[in-house]
Structure 1
Amino acid sequence: MIAAAAGAPASLPDLGALIAERQAQVRANPRDDRSWAALGAAYVERGARTADSAYYPKAERALRSSLAARPEGNVEALDGLAALAAARGDWRGARKWGEAAVKLAPGRWSAYSGLVDAYQGLGDYKAAGRALEKMSGLTSGTALTLRTAAVYRDRGWREDAAAVLSDAAARASTPAERAALLLRAGDLAWERGEAADALRHFDAALAADPDCHAALAGRGRALASLGRTSQALQAYQRALAERPAPEYALELGELYESLDLGGAARAQYGVLRARAALQGAHGVDDALVLGRFEADHGDADAAVERLRAEWKRAPSVAAADALGWALHRAGDDDEAIGLLRRATDRQKGGTVRSALFMYHRGAVERELGLYGPARRHIGEALRINPAFSPLLAPRAREAMEALGEPPEGGPEQMWPPKPKVFAPARKQVAAPKRR
């Protein structure tokens, strides 16, 4: 509870102890609204840390019990409900509960943390920035640092995000806090193509807190980028054993597929479907992961249908990219290119420097015969991260070879035509009259 109040992540053993203590408290006093709220928030955190969505229905019951015990002025329960909605990917719900918490207690920093997450998930990046500014005036803890780095990353300010995380990690007061910051720093390093630096960050996160299981998947990503595939497979397998998130199964399946291990890949895709179905039963929205999977490895038309609904619910740049790519895979490049341009349009929030987004746009431009933009965007994807995907990065290199170099001399009509120079007409001199 002290860690939560300070905005720092709690360790899994501490979360377990808090849950056991609050369970005993509410059994003894079922009208203890604060204990119900603390119990619900702890369930949300444990579910997110372990990817065990069975904690989310428990969290909802606890938080609703807190509201029933104190319907008015219960900002702790509202904060918990906002966090629960965000953990489930219900960004509209997170916004609803977060705005209610801010209205009730505008001087409480935790209400703004839920709003930053909600606005980012909804693709309202300006509102996320405003909520972050409000939050930064109320706290300076790790929760603020993690959200600051996320907002900076989405704005394309990767170096600023990395600097914020590095400074905070050096000042971290608990192992769990340090691990959370190092994990995000590792994610940023991998996104910008610095796999060796990313691996160092993930190893340091695990050294600080062995229960930081997301760092195991990060190690798998970095090791695959470095060509150390056998170690990458082991890291992913450990990550799935400890934190069975559907996106890890997708990444591992694609790594197997890149190694021509089709049977192992199909097994992981089966794990993905099973985990997503289980999480869906607990109220989790995995539309983006499932849409990306179906687009590349399943039914592209089903992916389009799923992602259209997600785009309507939460029009983020990630949703624009996923839907655009699914439309391409389903054969509709004309509609696809509009969404893929939107995902990389700086005027509409597409400021994040994503190798995957750039490749998707370039690949569709190539199909449409737009070879100059295709060359530019596929090349940008490889400059951002040369190993952004074990399946797609090799295809990006093949596409660049096929596109070749631009024609010599630049494009036609690169310079405006020279204006025609007209010689002034000579003045006609009249012949002298004969006398």
Structure 2
Amino acid sequence: MTNAMDSAATDRKRARRSRVAGWLVAGAVVGSGVLGGVLMLWPWERETVRPPAPAPGAQALTAVTAGVPASLPDLAVLIGERETFLRAHPRDARSWAVLGTAYVEQGRRTADATDYPRAEQALRTSLKVAAKGNDVKADALDGMAALANARRDFRAARSWGEAALKVDAKRWTTYPLLLDAYTGLGDHKATQRTLDALLELRTGPAVMARAAGVYRDRGWREDAAATLSDAAAAASTPAERAAWLERSGQLAWERGDLEDALRHFQEAVRVDPDQRTAQAGQGRTLAALGRTTEALNAYRVALARQPSPQYALELGELYDSLGLGQAARVQYDLLRARVREEAAGGVDDELVLGVFEADHGDPAAAVRRLRAEWRRQPGTAVADALGWALHRAGNDKEALRFATAATDKAHGGGVRSALYAYHRGMIERELELYAPARRRLQDALRINPHFSPLGAPLATAALAALGEPPDEDVPVMDAKRLRRR
């Protein structure tokens, strides 16, 4: 326990040092600019020459090779440029790697899984024509790891990322990909080792954002929020800044701070109008604020440009909460159709499909899907979903084992999730563990009283049915026993 506490303290200190270092660098830049103005010329004695903005393709190339979000228009330009170049230079391994990685990013941003087979073909071509053991091969290996993460194939992502480190152990862009893979596999020790290695190799907004994700999973919400705020402030492009703003909004949503969440989501969309994840976040938040019409519109806009099965599930549940069953079924049908389309592109949607089946379809089928998913990649989200599916299927004793894995820090479940607490509380209530059930449901509503348009009212009703804890008499010590002491 002492080692874990020391490690936690070290991580917190490192995050603070990272922020302080950023402030010092900023201060140094400002100071040098002032000094340079005094020593050289007064402002009216010289012309202001601003460097030209990089071309869209160059902007996307910088983002793609550094593993940070790129804007969709810039990605389209970069993909077009590389496709044209490769027709004349089909053995240029680096260009194949860039093209493949750009396809991955475009597919991720648009939820268009047809980009993923194209990405795989380009990346495998790069590996085929690249010289052994050079950094170009590592580019393609990184791209394959990013592709596997986008498909939710975390075992493959781990294999590709570890292969990239064998080529170049100092290659910092590989470490964030491995963080995603290890998190998806529920390997918390490897996640910690990887973050430590990344922080030794690199600083900057992309690293801050990755560190914030680990802090969030440990339940360090304040550290995660502060680190993400620094990342957004230091971002070099609108697309990158919007991505970190969206994650800040998600953190605010998870802690129930609706106004802060909405502010971050709206700013993300303002900075990058193609930031559809933030658009869906607006829908989620506006619904909790009672601004239903705006919420429905936000979800529709998000789904029109990024038809994610998760967004369809959320919108369907919002319709259900409003008593609009037919509209909800339309979204659930869309979810199934999108899962089939993404499966054709190699995407593993068993988690979202299992979550959907548990509450709106066949709980037994959900258990089968999620058991198989747990065997493949036993992450925290899968543990929670499997526990809930088992509960819905009537197997509460086994359900509690998985719900515990998702919520107990000893099992890696450090994230402060209202949904996970709600699931565990309902399972404990069914097992007549009323005291822990009461605590868990109170915790869910304390973390975020608006965590789900369907689940939050059920949690409130279940807690009311449990009532107040029974009064218990204070034990009275026997006088003779007290005298003997």
AA at the equivalent of 1:132: L
Match of 1:428 in 2: none
Residues 319-374 of structure 1, C-alpha deviation per residue, up to 9 Å, x if partnerless?
A: 11100100010011111111111111111101000000000000011111111001
Identity of aligned residues (%): 62
AA at the equivalent of 1:80: G
In the TM superposition, what are the counterparts of 1:204-223 in structure 2 within 5 Å? 204-223=267-286
Match of 2:85 in 1: 25
Aligned pair partner of 1:149 in 196, 212, 216: 212
Aligned pair partner of 2:183 in 113, 120, 124: 120
**Would the alpha carbon gap of residues 138 and 365 (structure 1) be closer, same or farther in structure 2, given more than 3 Å must change?**
same
Match of 1:38 in 2: 98
AA at the equivalent of 1:15: L
* Long gaps (5+) in structure 1: 425-435
Match of 1:432 in 2: none
Match of 1:70 in 2: 130
Aligned pair partner of 2:365 in 290, 295, 302: 302
Aligned pair partner of 1:240 in 292, 300, 303: 303
* Distance in structure 1 (CA, Å) of the matches to 2:307 and 2:435: 42
**Would the alpha carbon gap of residues 334 and 34 (structure 1) be closer, same or farther in structure 2, given more than 3 Å must change?**
same
**3-state DSSP of counterpart to 2:201:** coil
How far did residue 160 of structure 1 move? 0.4
In the TM superposition, what are the counterparts of 1:12-411 in structure 2 within 5 Å? 12-70=72-130, 72-73=132-133, 74-409=137-472
Contact 2:144 2:157 in 1 (8 A): yes
Equivalences, count: 421
Give the CA RMSD over aligned residues: 1.5
Residues 159-191 of structure 1, C-alpha deviation per residue, up to 9 Å, x if partnerless?
A: 101000111212222111110110000000000
How far did residue 422 of structure 1 move? 9.1
How far did residue 137 of structure 1 move? 2.0
**Would the alpha carbon gap of residues 371 and 104 (structure 1) be closer, same or farther in structure 2, given more than 3 Å must change?**
same
AA at the equivalent of 1:310: E
How far did residue 105 of structure 1 move? 0.3
How far did residue 8 of structure 1 move? 3.3
Structure with greater Cα Rg:
1
* Distance in structure 2 (CA, Å) of the matches to 1:59 and 1:227: 42
How far did residue 3 of structure 1 move? 2.3
Contact 1:112 1:135 in 2 (8 A): yes
* Distance in structure 2 (CA, Å) of the matches to 1:119 and 1:236: 31
* Distance in structure 2 (CA, Å) of the matches to 1:105 and 1:418: 72
Contact 2:66 2:173 in 1 (8 A): no
How far did residue 420 of structure 1 move? 4.7
Say which is worse superposed, 1-10 or 165-174, in terms of deviation: 1-10
**3-state DSSP of counterpart to 1:340:** helix
**3-state DSSP of counterpart to 2:100:** helix
Residues 299-333 of structure 1, C-alpha deviation per residue, up to 9 Å, x if partnerless?
A: 00000000000011111111111001000100111
How far did residue 134 of structure 1 move? 1.1
Contact 1:6 1:141 in 2 (8 A): no
How far did residue 423 of structure 1 move? 8.3
AA at the equivalent of 1:276: V
**Would the alpha carbon gap of residues 334 and 27 (structure 1) be closer, same or farther in structure 2, given more than 3 Å must change?**
same
* Distance in structure 1 (CA, Å) of the matches to 2:114 and 2:285: 30
How far did residue 7 of structure 1 move? 4.3
**3-state DSSP of counterpart to 1:421:** helix
**Would the alpha carbon gap of residues 26 and 378 (structure 1) be closer, same or farther in structure 2, given more than 3 Å must change?**
same
